[in-house]
Amino acid sequence: MPRPERASKGSMPDDAWQTYKRLIGYLRPHRGMFALGMLGAIVFAISMVSFTAFAKVFGDGTFENRDPRTIVWLPLALIGLFLLRGLGDFTQTYCMGYVGRQIVKRLRGQVFERMVHLPVSYFDRNSSNVLLTKLTYNTEQIGQASTDSILITLREALTIIGSIVMLFYFNARLAAIALIMGPLVAWLIGIINKKFRRYSHRIQDSMGDITRVAKETLEAPRVIKVYNAENYQAGQFEGVNEHNRRSHMRLVLTKGLSNPVVQMVTATGSAIVLSIAISDAINERMSMGDLLAFFVALVGIAQPLRALVGVSGPLQQGIAAGQSIFQLIDEAAEPEGGSLVAERVRGDIEYRDVSFTYPVGKGAALHDVSLKVAAGEVIAIVGRSGSGKSTLVNLLPRFYEPDAGTIRIDGHELHEYQLQNLREQIAVVSQDIVLFNDTIRANIAFGRKASDEQIERAAQAALVMDFVRELPAGLDTMVGDRGVLLSGGQRQRISIARALLKNAPILILDEATSALDTESERFIQAALEQLMHNRTTLVIAHRLSTVEKASRILVMEAGRIIESGTHAELIAKQGQYAMLHAMQFNA
């Protein structure tokens, strides 16, 4: 982000000023409504300043001239001023509320859109709970920073300027004395702004921690209960909750001290000026109307000044939230890939000298792996945990990019394909079944426009209809949060039906039956055989009994392929595969 030429704008450092300017840019599509809101703020400020003129007429007409006409038209004028004030107040409140909600909606949409297009590696490095906090909590704070802060600043600044003009009009000497306190007040507001911004960052971070602990607890109630970890999780939550409370209290302390300190400085100056003004009135250097008007104008500065100090909190919180959100929005999305678009690939796959290292945590995962898979071939990949099996297949849909070597489909390198088109050629069924809180029908059709007939055909082939027929709502049955209302085998069949509906020429089965009991596995295996028909299939499995019919079995160890062959060939070889097979079947 380019830096401005000057070091600061007011009390904002460069990065905060740049963030605020970017937030203001979100007002452009709504400038008509925003201008109407600003007009309401101007009308409100004019009505407030007009009370000084009202006080002037009231003082002179009632106490000095004793004009009987004031009995009628002064009360009417008072009603008129409050009508004008009410009109301005409603206009500014409604219009700015409308603009603020539009900005929050647009920002949330941009954050969500960016999140779904971020590479998988980003989610490896960043907590999903922090991202959720940015989407919900941080965006909410920006609404105030982008609209309310401008509104309040304009309204109260105009009220203060108008009051100062009136002070000079009625008594320039006293007005000049009153303004001596101005630089001191500005210095105090600058210090307050810095503290608000610092504590706002801490509060946003602590909200991410609260969301993380709460989400982890809500997603694993059975694990927590079976390990009697309720008190442990309560302690974890208490820690992050207390940190959030302390951060909030520092902000509250700053907010609580800011107004009294600024008001005290202002009141001290006002008291000196008021003393001189009363002296002038007693010595007939000011009329009663001038004294009342001057007093109303002087007192009229206090409340707007307090509001200006008060707006610093939401403004700095909004800027801190904006910095966090724009950092996410500016993250690079996944590359769109090349220009090659294939209607349907044959399914020939080649890994050539592929190496890969995870940037965080796991370290080196693959070392100079070379592999050729013919179209329609079923390749099983086995090995101990951490041997590189999942990493090998995760490179195929470009969830990650290899550090060295190339991967080809039908002779074309992966980066030559348009990314969306490449992934259209691949279906995945894994042990981590992802179902959404929707109907069975919607979960099968997920992300695709499909007719009822196509969905039912896929459900029939995946044996989903075997249990759906017993449900009153059939395919329109809700599956619950993450499919909790269904059994593991039922969830897996829906996952297979989803892959069948996609009808991709390349299939990845990642431990698709590892979490199932023997009976469920028998049904799922039948559905998988239907799914694998005429498709290039890469099968990752720990249960070797499920891969004995594979065209070829690859054995991986420490990121390398150490054995390759059919089940019979590898058993005869008496190597790593034979040892793993013996361990499982002897057990």
What per-residue confidence (pLDDT) applies to 14?
61
What per-residue confidence (pLDDT) applies to 6?
39
The average pLDDT across 562-583 equals 87
Q: Are the C-beta atoms of residues 538 and 393 closer than 8 Å to each other?
A: yes
Q: Are the C-beta atoms of residues 525 and 513 closer than 8 Å to each other?
A: yes
Q: Are the C-beta atoms of residues 175 and 272 closer than 8 Å to each other?
A: no
Is residue 408 pLDDT above 90, yes or no?
A: yes
Is residue 480 pLDDT above 60, yes or no?
A: yes
- Which one-letter DSSP state was computed for residue 548? T
Q: Could you tell me the fold of the domain covering 349-586? A: Rossmann fold (3.40.50)
What are the angstrom distances between the C-alpha of 113 and each of 102, 110, 117, 142, 542?
16, 5, 7, 18, 37
What letter represents residue 9's amino acid? K
Q: Name the H helices within 311-418.
A: 312-329, 389-394
Q: Could you tell me the fold of the domain covering 14-329? A: ABC transporter transmembrane region fold (1.20.1560)
Confidence band, pLDDT 50/70/90 cuts, at residue 536? very high
Lowest mean per-residue pLDDT among 78-82, 491-495, 543-547, 579-583:
543-547
Backbone angles phi, psi at 334, to 5 degrees: -60, 140
Tens of pLDDT, residues 219-274: 666 556 656 777 877 888 888 888 878 877 777 776 666 667 766 776 777 777 77
In whole angstroms, give the CA distance from residue 104 to residue 137. 11
The average pLDDT across 177-203 equals 66
In whole angstroms, give the CA distance from residue 207 to residue 26. 25
Exposure string of 399-427, with b = 16+ CB inside 10 Å and e = fewer, is: bbebeebebebbeeebeebebebbbbbbb
> Of 197, 195, 179, 184, nearest to 257 (Cα)?
195
> Of 276, 327, 308, nearest to 130 (Cα)?
327
In whole angstroms, give the CA distance from residue 549 to residue 379. 10
What per-residue confidence (pLDDT) applies to 346?
92
> Of 532, 536, 560, 557, nearest to 546 (Cα)?
532
For the chain, the domains span 14-329, 349-586
The average pLDDT across 178-186 equals 66
